[in-house]
Every structure is written in C-alpha cells, then in structure tokens.
Amino acid sequence: MSDMRTWETMKQRIHTQLVRQTGMSVDDWNDRITAQSPADEPALRSWLATCGVDGYPQTLLVWESFGYPDFLLASADELVDAQYAGRPELRPILDAVLGAASSLGEVDVQARKTYVALLTPRRTFAVVQATTKRRVDLGLRLSTTKPAGRLVPGKGVGNDAINLRIGLESVDDLDQEALDWLERAYRESS
C-alpha cells in the first residue's frame, strides 16, 4: 500500500485530465478566465460548461479562481487527526482496516475531509469514516449485494459509490466476516 494521499494528488490528476480533455493547462485556463472576468462562481461554471469543461476540471478551475477550501490545503495527517479528534480510541480501528487492506493488492489510501478512501487503480472500493463517538463505519462498494446481517445501507458514508457499511466499535469487530466483505469489495472494483 502506498503512503496516504491528500487532495493534492487528486488535484494533479485533475490537472492532467483537464489538459487531456481540452489541450490547455490550468494556467492557460486561468488566463482565459481572467480575460472573461466572471462575476461569481455560477457565472464561471456556466461559462466553463459552454467551453466543454465540467466535472472535476470545472471545480478545480472554480477553486483556482475563488480559492481552495481549507481541507484541500491540509496534510493527510491533519485531515485524519481532525477526523479522530475527541475520539482517539477509534483510531486503532482505522489503522487495523488499513493494515488489512494492504494485504489485498494494489491499494491507494486517500485522506479526505471526513473519511479515508481506499482505492484500487480503477476506483474507490471502501471508505473508513469515524461516524459517531463510538463507531467507525467501514463503507463498501458492493453494487450487486443487498443489505443483510451486519451489512446495512451505506447512505451518508463516504461518497455516493458506497452502498453498504459495517459498523465497527472496536478492532475486534474487524473479524473474518468484515475482512471477507472488504476483500470482495476490492475484487469487484479491481
């Protein structure tokens, strides 16, 4: 497993995506935006859409123009420390999940504002989110699996791709069943 990434890594990927899609760099677009002089974010988004720039590249250019959110400027350690502030007893659960994920194959770990994402080279397959003062949720991307037993709907955990979750209140809750579901989510997303 590689070192934990922050949004900076994603920012670099979006830069590359923007150049691939439009043939122009962020600096080129920033020059065009300055010349266009949009009044506000909605005006900039509308103009970018007419130029064929949408999704992550559009959001990146909006941030370039109007400022980046604080969480995008934080280090991975700062993001994770903030997630577990006031609940340090839950941090070992995150560490145990990360340790288990490292044995699955190629896994990238990305610190986000409210959770830690686990990614295959293709996409996010799981997230670890300190949801309450007593529980960490292991969110899983298992598109063909229905909630049953410990697997409950994952709405509100991680990103929209996460459809199921398992609540973990201690490291002992990361048992063989939970590890099997984590491995299955990895395989389905590889």
CA 144 to chain centre: 21
Residues with pLDDT less than 50, the chain: 1-2
Tens-place pLDDT, residues 110-138: 888 899 999 998 899 999 999 999 999 99
Contacts of residue 17, Cβ cutoff 8 Å, sequence gap at least 6? 56, 57
What's this model's pTM, rounded to 2 decimal places? Answer: 0.76
Spatial distance between the Cα atoms of 73 and 91, rounded to a whole number of angstroms? 22
pLDDT of residue 68: 86
**How many of the other CB atoms lie within 10 Å of CB of 21?**
13
CB 161 within 8 A of CB 141: yes
Structure tokens at 112: 């986000």
- Mean of pLDDT over the chain: 93
Total count of residues recorded for the chain: 190
pLDDT value, residue 6: 63
**pLDDT score for 56:** 87
- Identify any residues that bridge with 166 across adjacent strands, giving them in sequence order: 138
**pLDDT of 124:** 93
Cβ neighbour number for residue 87 with a 10 Å cutoff: 14
Q: CA of 6: how far to CAs of 11, 133, 190, in Å?
A: 9, 24, 21
